[in-house]
Structure 1
């Protein structure tokens, strides 16, 4: 049976010894997994270290574990990927966050554009960002990553495109002349823009060109926004990262 992996925030150092799990971790171990004293878990704290641990006690409010010294375990891709994703509705955005992190994305910035179908602001938007960050943590627990990707605060497409970044900037466009296979190698950093279901407007496409984004084509078929993101990330990881 696979030993459950549990994220424990680095604000409480893991150095070996008896520790109390964070509220989220304790809830997952005690209520979701219904684990008992004597069972094994593996903890990670976002530092690329993993810690073998044994559960000492479980109660409704508290889980105590005994940890062993950490072991360095780096599963990050050599390709640093920053995904700028125009927000999609409901489960589509959650799916994009989860799967893109499994595929190795390092940073995700949710974006607003002219044709964005999500209308969130204030406290509701903050709650969504927090929810997506929890999905990111759960994805790392599942896929074996030991560093937690960042879900940044949402911003406008214009603001995101104007940020300074040394990465190669890519924009998926169905009429582009370039493909991922024609991009020059080696490549270590990519800033990938994925538009909404209705695509970017003509003005937005012109704006990305002004900020030195390269239009690229994935193939002859028109893909949904969540399919586009995952296809592009996979293709980039195959060519420049650690997939395949």
Structure 2
């Protein structure tokens, strides 16, 4: 069983698992002497042995870490106008499995899901937990960051202070370049990529213009119209495939 521990792990330490990990272990009925695999988001897996099981506490002894090499060769940020209903949950889960480094939920002019204030923060925390659970399942040892919800205009204005990155606008506009033309087949390690995609109704013309002014280049994903939650995943899948082929 592989569990995320939201605290730095230390080899040789005896510790009580945090509540979420303890509940998971109890549901799976682990026993003293059983082996676990822990990770804290720092890029390593840590073998551990269960020492004791209590009603509300599971104590373990942590072993020596080993590095996990499952990340994409470049850090990918998906900035997207949030899809409605439960589709965002699914997108976060699948994007995590495919290797996203950061997700930036946005409010656009045509957004159906509109979040602000405390409700937006509750959703962000929920999506962060979805990403953590997806990492437990898929073997990643680094947790994607789910950024606070922002308006598209506010986020674009703040990009001038961000480090340089390849910026792609997922677009149906005529003349949008094919994805392989804008991303090398073997992306350079340590680079970064940011994709921007719209809500169910797409970005408004003035929003697309603002994105282009911020350095985004329009890219097409083929002749079919993809759902709002499908288009950014298609980019990640393409990157993950070529990373696998080149590894």
1:54 alignment counterpart: 49
What TM-score do the two structures reach when normalised by structure 2?
A: 0.91
Indicate whether 1:204 and 2:207 are aligned.
yes
Equivalent in the alignment of 1:231: 234
Number of aligned residue pairs: give it.
Answer: 238
CA offsets 1:165-196 (integer angstroms, 9 cap, x no match): 31111011112430111115345211011210
TM-score (norm 1): 0.92
1:25 corresponds in structure 2 to: 21
Equivalent position of 1:195 in the other structure:
198
1:140-182 C-alpha deviation (Å, 9 max, x unpaired): 1011010111111111111222313311110111124301111
Alpha carbons of structure 1 residues 85 and 34: separation in structure 2 relative to 1, 3 Å: farther
Partner of 1:8: 5
Q: Aligned partners of 2:169, 2:226: CA distance in 1, in Å? A: 14
1:38 match: 33
Instruction: Give the C-alpha shift of residue 10 in structure 1.
Output: 2.9
Q: Quickly say closer, same or farther: Cα 1:89–1:48, change in 2 above 3 A.
A: same
Counterpart for residue 164 of structure 2: 166
- Aligned partners of 1:79 and 1:237 also within 8 Å: no
* CA deviation after TM superposition for structure 1 residue 243, in Å: 5.9
Partners of 1:35 and 1:184 lie apart in 2 by 45
Equivalent positions of 1:1-244 (< 5 A) are 4-11=1-8, 13-31=9-27, 33-162=28-157, 163=159, 164-175=162-173, 176-183=175-182, 185=184, 186-187=187-188, 188-239=191-242, 241-242=243-244
Q: CA RMSD in A?
A: 1.6
Segments of 5+ residues of structure 2 without an aligned counterpart are none
Tell me: CA distance 1:184–1:63, structure 2 relative to 1, closer, same or farther (3 Å): closer
User: What are the Cα deviations for residues 187-233 of structure 1, in whole angstroms up to 9, with x where unaligned?
Assistant: 52110112101100011011111111000000000010111111121
Q: Deviation of residue 242 (structure 1)?
A: 4.0
Q: In structure 2, what is the Cα distance between the partners aligned to 1:71 and 1:16? A: 14
Where structure 1 has 5 or more consecutive residues not aligned to the other structure, the ranges are none
SS at match of 2:69: coil
